[in-house]
Amino acid sequence: MNAVPWRLRLQNRGLDGVTLLVLPAVGFIVALFVYPFLYGLFLSFAPMQGPWFANYKKFFGDPFLYDTILTTLWIAVPATLVNLLVSIPVAMRVRLMAHPRLLTTILVIPITLGTVLVAEGLLNYLGPRGWLNRALIFFAVTDSPTRLVHNYWGVFLSLVITGFPFTFLLIQSYVTGIDPSLERAGAMLGARAPARFFRIVLPLLVPGLVITLSLSFVQAFSVFPSAVLLGAPAGPTRVISIAAYQAAFEQYDYSMASAIAMIMAVVQVAIVVALLGARGLVYRGPATGGKG
């Protein structure tokens, strides 16, 4: 009844042997990313005792647990904002450099070393006998060592050390995508540097800023090793990932741990969606100039 063979029809829709090459990767991600996530979601509704929502009730009924959301936000939001606000002017200057590669290479080092090494380094460096406190006393900024580890500031500074390079490199890739001739045109018409930045560059940069802010925030919100090693994991820096880890590997309550992981994911998604929604309110369009 149909003259066209099914193989050919599939081919016309882009499905043939080559498309099948995608299948192993899809199968792998479904098996090891999607399935565990769904499994965790179901497991979180199957608590060790009590009704199906018992884990969530326990989380939002116990300040020791629900406070971890605020604690994490209290560390992650300032760190993300500081990193972003410092990255923008630096990226604007680096854009004018002829050979920025050395600088970007140096900045990639803390990202590559990872949070565990940064934590160990900062424990030495910021400690009461570390070089930083020595320098502060030497220059008579303080007369006794400032406490910078095993509290909020240790975790905050570790998020700056690994987060600033990450944020900067992302911002830099967006800044270099803006056509310099647009700014030159502004300068020709008499706009000074601040006006050129706020009236020309910033509006074009907003979409990139939103993506960067989302990615940096999500990274900072999932802070784990440095909150344990550099912070005070029992109190001021008991972040949400510590609560999830303790539920899973200290109390062996995988159901509760999955519930906390799901709450963590929901907070991250909520903030990213809010940011992306806010992006819709501002200019969207090409960041290049043209004859018009």
Q: Which of residues 99-118 bind another protein (CB under 8 A)?
A: 101, 103-118
> How many angstroms separate the CA atoms of 97 and 104, rounded?
11
Amino acid at 254: Y
> How many angstroms separate the CA atoms of 55 and 57, rounded?
5
Q: What is the dihedral of CA 281, 285, 287, 289, to 10 degrees?
A: -130
Residue selected from 75, 84, 148, 228 as contacting another protein according to rule CB under 8 A: 228
| Distances in whole angstroms, Cα of residue 248 to Cα of each of 34, 169, 256, 263 | 20, 35, 7, 15
Nearer to another protein by Cβ, of 1 and 75: the residue is 75
Cβ at position 23, least distance to another protein in Å: 8
- Residue 286 DSSP one-character state: -
Q: Which of residues 62-91 bind another protein (CB under 8 A)?
A: 86, 89-90
Cβ at position 67, least distance to another protein in Å: 18
Q: Could you report how far apart the first and last alpha carbons of the chain are, in Å?
A: 56
Q: Which of residues 8-67 bind another protein (CB under 8 A)?
A: 13-22, 24-26, 28-30, 32-37, 39-41, 43
- The helix (run of H) or strand (run of E) holding residue 195 is helix 193-196
Q: Is residue 197 within the footprint of another protein (CB under 8 A)?
A: no
Nearer to another protein by Cβ, of 30 and 70: the residue is 30
Cβ at position 8, least distance to another protein in Å: 15
> How many angstroms separate the CA atoms of 136 and 122, rounded?
16
User: How many residues at the interface with another protein, by CB under 8 A?
Assistant: 97
CA 193 to chain centre: 30
Cβ at position 255, least distance to another protein in Å: 9
Q: Is residue 222 within the footprint of another protein (CB under 8 A)?
A: yes
- The count of other CB atoms within 10 Å of the CB of residue 9 is 11
Q: Is residue 125 within the footprint of another protein (CB under 8 A)?
A: yes
Q: Is residue 120 within the footprint of another protein (CB under 8 A)?
A: yes
Site string for another protein, 230-249 (x = CB under 8 A): -----------x--xx--xx
Nearer to another protein by Cβ, of 152 and 196: the residue is 196
